[in-house]
Amino acid sequence: MFTGIIQSVGSIQRIEPRGGDVLLSIAVGKLDMSDVQLGDSIAVNGVCLTVVRFDKQSFDADVSVETLAVTSLKNWKAGTRVNLEKALTPTTRLGGHLVSGHVDGIGEIISRRNAARADQFTVRVPQSIKRYIAHKGSVCVDGISLTVNAVNDDCFELTLVPHTQAETNSGAWQAGTLVNIEVDVLARYLERLLQAGEAPAAVSSITESLLARSGFPGAR
């Protein structure tokens, strides 16, 4: 799990095809690798990847066919700037929201316009996930935890302050930029619960006679 608070902007060093999937090599920028171990998870533009090799300046990760199919990773190339976040720990400040690193779809930046010292972005999402985007709700865009300012059918609005743009790759977003979208995990579970409807009550094996035999007072 992650928080959506970006810790570093890195860059793609190398993309090696490996029999249908790929091996990524990523320069980590200022990301502290001193506590990283093999098998750890690092979110790269919101995609949870497993570290298979690392040093102080970079790490490698395998990317499956499924991940290539559902994320913007298939469009990356050497030099692409990416947002990086190490997995949270029990002592991590939860400054954003709970993010799984499992991308739900690819969005597209439709417009960018000035809003005082900030910039306002309009993002279009696939029809399959638009129902999860809520006004003033949380959404993860390229790994960044952001608040939705407005929703209009399959588009939503974001306002990014200068600090966010300076510390992430969002400063380079323009109309046509493709971004990874992960909706709030609570919205997905809530939908599943509503779809399931009211389940029939389970028949309990705890009976009054069982309680009496077990010595509970008042049972007979």
Q: What is the pLDDT of residues 62-118, one digit of tens each?
A: 999 999 999 999 999 999 999 999 999 888 888 889 899 999 999 999 999 999 999
Please tell me whether residues 188 and 112 are part of one structural domain.
Answer: yes
The pLDDT value recorded for residue 189 is: 84
Please tell me whether residues 58 and 109 are part of one structural domain.
Answer: no
With CA atoms as reference, report the closest residue to 121 among 99, 147, 95. 147
| In-domain check, residue 65 | yes
Total domains present in the chain: 2
| In-domain check, residue 66 | yes
The pLDDT value recorded for residue 21 is: 93
Beta-ladder partners of 25: 14, 60
| In-domain check, residue 139 | yes
Please tell me whether residues 62 and 127 are part of one structural domain.
Answer: no
Specify the pairing of strand 138-141 against strand 144-147. Answer: antiparallel
Residues 6+ apart with CB under 8 A from 140: 4, 46, 96, 97, 99, 146, 180, 181, 182, 183
Three-class secondary structure of residue 93 per DSSP: coil
Please tell me whether residues 148 and 118 are part of one structural domain.
Answer: yes
| In-domain check, residue 186 | yes
The pLDDT value recorded for residue 218 is: 55
Segment 5-58, tens digit of pLDDT = 999 999 999 999 998 899 999 999 999 999 999 999 999 999 999 999 999 999
Using alpha carbons, list the distances in angstroms from residue 92 to 8, 106, 201.
Answer: 16, 28, 39
What pLDDT band is residue 215 in, cutting at 50, 70 and 90?
Answer: low
Please tell me whether residues 168 and 110 are part of one structural domain.
Answer: yes
Residue pair 70/6 in contact by the 8 Å Cβ criterion: no
Please tell me whether residues 123 and 179 are part of one structural domain.
Answer: yes
Give the residue, 13 or 217, on which the prediction is more confident: 13
The pLDDT value recorded for residue 206 is: 54
| In-domain check, residue 54 | yes
With CA atoms as reference, report the closest residue to 86 among 34, 141, 139, 31. 31
| In-domain check, residue 216 | no
pLDDT of 214 higher than 60: no
Task: Classify residue 190 by its DSSP letter.
Answer: H
Segment 192-206, tens digit of pLDDT = 888 876 555 455 555
Residue pair 92/2 in contact by the 8 Å Cβ criterion: no
The pLDDT value recorded for residue 217 is: 53
Share above pLDDT 90 across residues of the chain, in percent, rounded to a whole number: 78
Q: What mean pLDDT comes out for the span 145-162?
A: 97
- Domain containing 119 — which CATH number? 2.40.30.20
Segment 166-196, tens digit of pLDDT = 999 999 999 999 999 999 988 888 888 888 7
Q: Which structural domain range is residue 59 located in? A: 8-86
The pLDDT value recorded for residue 212 is: 59
Residue pair 63/110 in contact by the 8 Å Cβ criterion: no
Residue pair 72/128 in contact by the 8 Å Cβ criterion: no
Please tell me whether residues 153 and 109 are part of one structural domain.
Answer: yes
Q: What is the DSSP string of 131-142?
A: GG--TT-EEEET
- Greatest pairwise CA separation for the chain in angstroms: 75
Please tell me whether residues 50 and 111 are part of one structural domain.
Answer: no
Please tell me whether residues 22 and 66 are part of one structural domain.
Answer: yes
Please tell me whether residues 189 and 154 are part of one structural domain.
Answer: yes
| In-domain check, residue 215 | no
Please tell me whether residues 129 and 190 are part of one structural domain.
Answer: yes
